[in-house]
Amino acid sequence: MTQSPTPDPAHVPAPSLGVSPATPATPVSPGVSPAVSVVIPVLDEERHLAEAVARILGQRYPGSLEVMLALGPSSDRTDEVAARLAAADARVRFVPNPTGRTPAGLNAAIAAASHEIIVRVDGHALIPEDYVAIAVETLVRTGADNVGGVMAAEGVSVFECAVARAMISRLGVGAASFHTGGQEGPASTVYLGAFRRSALERVGGYDVTFLRAQDWEMNHRIRETGGLVWFNPAMRVTYRPRPSVGALARQYFGYGRWRREVMRRHPETVSPRYLAPPIAVAGVLSGILAGLVGVAGPIWLRLGWAAPLGYGALILLGSAVAGRGLRVGPWLRLPLVFATMHGAWGVGFLTSPRGLRSGG
């Protein structure tokens, strides 16, 4: 088993990450099919990794393609699966990611990758067979630095189906085109992404201090340095939603915490969409508190109950609209899913500590 040489990701400073090509890359030109490096940060993906890699190797793309895995300290047999995949196909290589953190793994894989086009895929993501071809065509046609598409949530269980529907609803995720779809065009961020290596080098790669929201933060730096981030709905990646209320709450709590950290780092990115969940949480909790005090105190404080009741009515109405066409089981779970997404995101945002990126 041979491991490809790569700089230790621990040696990469932050926020300047020093991503550099392992070999000189060939610029992207119209009329050619440039070589592509697909990078995957991997941790505890024993169940999904082989299928994800098979989808990549089965791409209908005329250019050469390699897969670079960044292996974190998995507690399952992920490393064994990766070794078998590399032994079976020389296009699959791997590098260590001792920290197990996604941005460090991505930087290590990018540094060891050979080609000018860098396509990011997650270990549990399933890309369609034309994904790389569409990504490269879009990069060449638009001149963008990063292109991406739709995070196509598909559930299996009743709860997952409810989450999948919530994730394509404006009530659940706002106007994020990579969730809800929309017209092709410039975007603030996209799901996963296919990059020009020159853009990654220009901004220094992923900031390893952002354990979450690293995609959004780096796309912001790409745009701030004059680059174009482009959304193409034809690029669809199948995503499996969280399977339980607890898992969904933990996911969105983390989103909220790290979204606030992005706003601290880049205050110009504040928008109503990201402030809505914490405002809703603060309003509902304040309303409940006022209503309870009003039971034994000033009667006017009982008006505070209007906040939680109004939010509840909004959730029920929104669930009725968003759930059209769903089976009864997922439809009945939509109010719980929406409330969990909003509440966990809002609480995460409100409790996000200032020292988050330094481990606080």
Domain limits, the chain: 9-16+25-241, 267-358
Res 15 pLDDT > 50: no
Mean pLDDT of all residues belonging to the chain? 89
Q: Is residue 150 within 8 Å of residue 178, measured between CB atoms?
A: yes
Q: How confident is the model at residue 357 (pLDDT cuts 50, 70, 90)?
A: confident
The stretch 267-296 carries a mean pLDDT of 93
Name the CATH topology of 9-16+25-241: Spore Coat Polysaccharide Biosynthesis Protein SpsA; Chain A (3.90.550)
Res 344 pLDDT > 70: yes
85: which residues sit within 8 A by CB, 6+ positions away? 49, 50, 53, 67, 69, 92
Q: Which amino acid is at 292?
A: L
Query: Is 44 or 7 the better-scoring residue by pLDDT?
Result: 44
Short-list 17, 38, 301, CA closest to 194: 38
What pLDDT is attached to residue 88?
Answer: 96
DSSP label of 324:
T
Q: Please give the helix or strand (H or E) that residue 314 lies within, else none.
A: helix 306-322
What Rg, from alpha-carbon coordinates, does the chain have? 22
Determine what percent of the chain is predicted with pLDDT higher than 70.
89
Q: How confident is the model at residue 325 (pLDDT cuts 50, 70, 90)?
A: very high
What pLDDT is attached to residue 314?
Answer: 97
- Least confident segment among 6-15, 76-85, 146-155: 6-15
Res 201 pLDDT > 50: yes
Q: Is residue 226 within 8 Å of residue 278, measured between CB atoms?
A: no
What pLDDT is attached to residue 24?
Answer: 45
Q: How confident is the model at residue 355 (pLDDT cuts 50, 70, 90)?
A: confident
What pLDDT is attached to residue 28?
Answer: 58
pTM for this entry = 0.83
